[in-house]
Amino acid sequence: MSKAKVMVVEDESIVAIDISQRLESLGYQVTATVSTGEKAVEMAEKTRPDIILMDIVLKGEMDGIEAAGEITKRMKVPIIYITAYSDEETLKRAKITGPFGYIIKPFEDRELHSVIEVALHKHQLERRLAENDELFRAIISSIRDILFTADSDESLTMISPGPLAEYGLDADEVQGKKVSEVFGDGIHSEMIERALRGETVSYEWVWKPKGKFHFETTLSPLRDFEGNINGVVGVHRDVTEKELARRALERETAINKSLAEISKKLLPPPSLEEISASIIERAKKLTGSRYCMAGFFESDGSLRNYFPSEEVGKECHPDAESTEMGGLWNLVLRKREPVLVNDPSSHPESTGVPEGHIEIKNFLACPALLNDELVGILAVSGKDGDYDERDLEVMERLADIYAIAIHRKIEEDRVRASEEKNRALVQKFLKIVTEVLEEIK
């Protein structure tokens, strides 16, 4: 084990030599012996001792206490005061600099050794404590959860600064404020009261500092050295992504269930009107739209039989037989691609709406295609908010179901009409044959 390095600050040369010799006999290494405060500051930085023995009364303008204060500002080194004076005023001044020991002249070697070893041990402990504190701060700053402690009055006594900036907060500014004041009124006070009674509680809540965030919080009682509860320690965990994923999964499950139901309902094709009405109902429900229209191409190539949703029929009266489709409608049919616009008036293809028509604030339409054949069109509008990619996906899947159902129904009607025509021809032929045979008889 290496020898501890000691610097001696003593203005009496004989005493300084005596202390140095004692130190060396005790196994320490004396790095320097100086007699003034100014020199002590200079040599402390130059020799970097492990500990300093500092006489309080020194020659010159800077006494030992002032020198110790200056050294402490520049470096972390334990300082032991040595002096022949033990008056209250001197002790009071010395305490301000946070010395690691205080030894009164004259002193024995054993006393000197003890005070140095205790000071070195104390310094080592404080150093480890500071390192652990720095490590703790680094960990607290790096984690994404919000860690905090609060006293029995629910006031924050500590909070991790790392993630707070993401929510527009500063740790220094919220320190000392009540938890409910910082994170919003609601469930916090009730849960803190339960934790102060000794419970460990967990709960979910929503916070809206600059957006909507979902949190899970765990609170535990905080106890002092005697085991008395004097506050709480808590962890706020942002589970917004988890909550959004859960809701997305629920929505996807509901959509799949709804699409399965409509597919099953349309399996034995009802009338064209019933097919369109069923698709309209699902499109409105799954996209949260107020208005919906569905149309298909008849055998002559015209887009006919538009089936407006009930709200459209009440608020305006489109021509059900019209084949004129301009603007965004025509864009969907012409390019056979979906159109999603949350500000239709700004779209270059938009031609506006006729006088008296319902106001179109947003618009989402998909072509109903089957094997690249354009069967019809499905469109919604009037959602409270913007349409997004999820709405588009739902509409595309509904348009596929609509195309299959319409195509199958039209083909079924065509086959039935053909069979009826053939039956009529056969009956007419049999009637003619019967009449001819009667004449021959």
Residue 413, CB-side half-sphere exposure with 13 Å CA sphere: 11
315 occurs within a structural domain: yes
Own/partner long-range contacts of 406-414 (Cβ < 8 Å, ≥24 apart): 406/272, 406/275, 406/276, 406/296, 406/368, 406/375, 406/376, 407/370, 407/373, 407/375, 408/269, 409/269, 409/270, 409/271, 409/272, 409/275, 410/272, 410/296, 410/298, 410/299, 412/269, 414/299
Q: How far is residue 37's CA from residue 44's CA, in Å, rounded to a whole number?
A: 10
Examine the domain organization and report whether 169 and 67 are in the same domain.
Answer: no
Among 221, 238, 255, give the residue marking a domain's end. 238
In this predicted model, what pLDDT tens digit does every residue of 141-163 receive, in sequence order?
A: 666 788 888 998 989 988 877 77
Examine the domain organization and report whether 293 and 406 are in the same domain.
Answer: yes
| Cα–Cα nearest to 167, from 238, 216, 219 | 238
Examine the domain organization and report whether 84 and 112 are in the same domain.
Answer: yes
Examine the domain organization and report whether 320 and 352 are in the same domain.
Answer: yes
Element (H, E) at 90: helix 88-96
* CATH number for the domain harbouring residue 416: 3.30.450.40
Q: Identify the residue with better confidence: 22 or 298.
A: 22
76 occurs within a structural domain: yes
Q: How far is residue 370's CA from residue 336's CA, in Å, rounded to a whole number?
A: 11
Q: How many distinct structural domains can be found in the chain? A: 3
* CATH number for the domain harbouring residue 160: 3.30.450.20
User: Would you place residue 40 in the very low, low, confident or very high pLDDT band (cuts 50, 70, 90)?
Assistant: confident
From start to end of 270-349, where are the E strands? 291-297, 303-308, 339-341
Q: Which amino acid is at 91?
A: L
Q: Is the pLDDT of residue 184 over 70?
A: yes
Examine the domain organization and report whether 184 and 314 are in the same domain.
Answer: no
16 occurs within a structural domain: yes
434 occurs within a structural domain: no
- Per-residue pLDDT at 424: 66
User: Would you place residue 367 in the very low, low, confident or very high pLDDT band (cuts 50, 70, 90)?
Assistant: very high
357 occurs within a structural domain: yes
Cβ of 274: how many Cβ atoms within 10 Å? 15
Q: Which amino acid is at 89?
A: E
User: Would you place residue 2 in the very low, low, confident or very high pLDDT band (cuts 50, 70, 90)?
Assistant: low
Q: How far is residue 268's CA from residue 273's CA, in Å, rounded to a whole number?
A: 14
243 occurs within a structural domain: no
Among 217, 238, 259, give the residue marking a domain's end. 238
Examine the domain organization and report whether 229 and 311 are in the same domain.
Answer: no
Element (H, E) at 405: helix 389-440
What pTM value is reported for the model?
Answer: 0.46
Examine the domain organization and report whether 150 and 207 are in the same domain.
Answer: yes
Examine the domain organization and report whether 167 and 201 are in the same domain.
Answer: yes
Examine the domain organization and report whether 334 and 394 are in the same domain.
Answer: yes
- Residues 8, 25 contacting (CB under 8 angstroms): no
In this predicted model, what pLDDT tens digit does every residue of 265-286 receive, in sequence order?
A: 666 667 888 888 888 888 898 8
Examine the domain organization and report whether 201 and 153 are in the same domain.
Answer: yes
User: Would you place residue 431 in the very low, low, confident or very high pLDDT band (cuts 50, 70, 90)?
Assistant: low
- Per-residue pLDDT at 340: 92
In this predicted model, what pLDDT tens digit does every residue of 194-214 receive, in sequence order?
A: 999 999 999 988 888 777 888
In this predicted model, what pLDDT tens digit does every residue of 96-110 receive, in sequence order?
A: 777 777 888 888 888
Q: Is the pLDDT of residue 441 over 70?
A: no
In this predicted model, what pLDDT tens digit does every residue of 252-269 receive, in sequence order?
A: 777 777 777 776 766 666
368 occurs within a structural domain: yes
Examine the domain organization and report whether 276 and 386 are in the same domain.
Answer: yes
- Per-residue pLDDT at 306: 64
In this predicted model, what pLDDT tens digit does every residue of 398-425 receive, in sequence order?
A: 888 888 888 888 777 776 766 666 666 6
252 occurs within a structural domain: no
Mean pLDDT taken over the chain: 80
Examine the domain organization and report whether 289 and 402 are in the same domain.
Answer: yes
Q: How far is residue 297's CA from residue 300's CA, in Å, rounded to a whole number?
A: 8
Quick one: tokens of 417? 């009409």
User: Would you place residue 305 in the very low, low, confident or very high pLDDT band (cuts 50, 70, 90)?
Assistant: low
* CATH number for the domain harbouring residue 100: 3.40.50.2300
Containing domain of residue 150, as a range?
A: 144-238
| Contacting residues for 196 by C-beta, under 8 A, at least 6 apart | 152, 221, 229, 231, 232
Q: Which amino acid is at 17?
A: I
